[in-house]
């Protein structure tokens, strides 16, 4: 017949064993030499389900030797585990943690290993646990892939935006060039003819047609002239005077004499006019461009 003290110890051991078997992590208890003293149900089930060559759920198996004699594929990782366990046993570190892949032919898996010393035990006991973290790793991998996809889309959008800006800039330049050509053609080719017609002794009907033509030409050129006027607003008073004389066909020397300035100053104003009017590197004649601008 067992004593009450022995019964209490037995009940306590049974309770601890029940709790150990209830833990989802694969747990083994090692002694200071690395021998397995106890394993829980999860550890044993994993060993059987994966048909391990040396089943570490068996008691009195040296877990350190299993790690140190592992295959070449996992040699580096297993030896790191062995070093970590020895460091915990020696008291050099409080715990050792390592995440590692453990793929099977049928699925990809990852585990997190944690090694700690059992509290207040003499002799030394070490708890080794392996927790399945596959869901976490797959979620992290999915997150990385999603982030990479977002970055790729961002780069595509940035490239498309850059290309669109280039196209819009070119479109604006083409539009300005068209406006200049239309204005120049109207002023140089059509306006003189209209002026000659206006000077003729026209019938009332012809005069009405001429007035309609002049109105239509004004409507046609109005948007272009408004743009040119807005550009001219950026010019200084002296630049406007120089531009007006250039438009009349005056040479730089003529303008310098008339404004009592040096040729160098006039050429400086010419460069500024080309820059402000967006004519640099276009090959557009400054006098032709100015001839199409509103007075």
DSSP 161-207: HHHHHHHHHHHHHHHHHHHHHHHHHIIIIIHHHHHHHHTS---HHHH
Higher pLDDT, 231 or 179: 179
Structure letter (DSSP) for residue 249? T
Instruction: Report the distance separating Cα 267 and Cα 290, nearest Å.
Output: 16
| Whole-Å CA distances, 270 to 276, 285, 291 | 10, 11, 15
276: left (phi over 0), alpha (psi -120 to 50) or beta: alpha
For 208, half-sphere exposure in the C-beta direction (CA atoms, 13 angstrom radius) is 3
| Residue 205: cis peptide before it, omega within 30 degrees of 0 | no
> Which range among 68-77, 104-113, 162-171 shows the weakest confidence by mean pLDDT?
68-77
pLDDT in tens, 227-249: 655 666 677 778 878 887 887 78
Where do the domains of the chain lie, and which CATH numbers do they carry?
A: 4-132 (3.30.450.20), 177-291 (1.10.10.10)
Residues in the chain, total: 295
Residue 61 φ then ψ, to 5°: -85, 135
Residues of the chain with pLDDT > 90, as a percent, come to: 27
User: What value does the mean pLDDT take over residues 79-96?
Assistant: 92
pLDDT band at residue 85 using 50, 70 and 90 as cut-offs: very high
Q: Looking at mean pLDDT, say which of 23-32, 180-189, 241-250 comes out highest.
A: 23-32
Asked whether residue 130 carries a pLDDT value surpassing 60, the answer given is yes
pLDDT band at residue 225 using 50, 70 and 90 as cut-offs: low
pLDDT of residue 54: 47
pLDDT in tens, 254-267: 989 888 889 999 99
Structure letter (DSSP) for residue 72? G
What is the chain's mean pLDDT, rounded? 81
Asked whether residue 295 carries a pLDDT value surpassing 60, the answer given is no
């Amino acid at each position: 017949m067992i004593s009450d003290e022995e019964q209490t110890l037995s009940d306590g051991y049974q309770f601890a064993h029940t709790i150990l078997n209830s833990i989802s992590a694969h747990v083994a208890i090692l002694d200071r030499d690395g021998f397995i003293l106890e394993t829980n149900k999860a550890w044993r089930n994993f060993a059987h389900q994966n048909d391990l060559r040396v089943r570490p759920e068996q008691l009195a198996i040296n877990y350190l030797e299993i790690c140190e004699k592992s295959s070449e594929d996992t040699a580096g990782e297993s030896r790191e585990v062995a070093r970590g366990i020895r460091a915990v046993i020696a008291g050099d570190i409080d715990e050792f943690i390592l995440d590692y892949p453990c793929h099977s032919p049928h699925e990809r898996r990852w585990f997190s290993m944690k090694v700690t010393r059992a509290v207040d035990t003499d002799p030394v006991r070490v708890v080794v646990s392996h927790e399945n973290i596959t869901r976490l790793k797959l979620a992290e991998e999915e997150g990385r892939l999603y982030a990479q996809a977002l970055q790729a889309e961002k780069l595509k959008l940035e490239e498309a935006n850059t290309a669109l800006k280039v196209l819009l800039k070119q479109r604006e330049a083409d539009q300005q060039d068209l406006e200049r050509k239309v204005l120049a053609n109207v002023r140089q080719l059509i306006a003189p003819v209209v002026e000659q017609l206006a000077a003729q002794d026209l019938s009332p009907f012809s005069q009405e047609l001429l007035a309609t033509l002049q109105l239509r030409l004004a409507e046609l050129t109005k948007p272009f002239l408004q743009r040119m006027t807005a550009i001219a607003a950026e010019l200084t008073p002296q630049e406007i005077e120089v531009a007006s004389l250039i438009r009349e066909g005056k040479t730089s020397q003529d303008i310098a004499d008339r404004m009592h300035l040096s040729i160098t100053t006039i050429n400086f104003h010419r460069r500024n006019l080309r820059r402000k009017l967006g004519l640099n590197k276009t090959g557009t004649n400054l006098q032709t461009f100015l001839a199409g601008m509103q007075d």
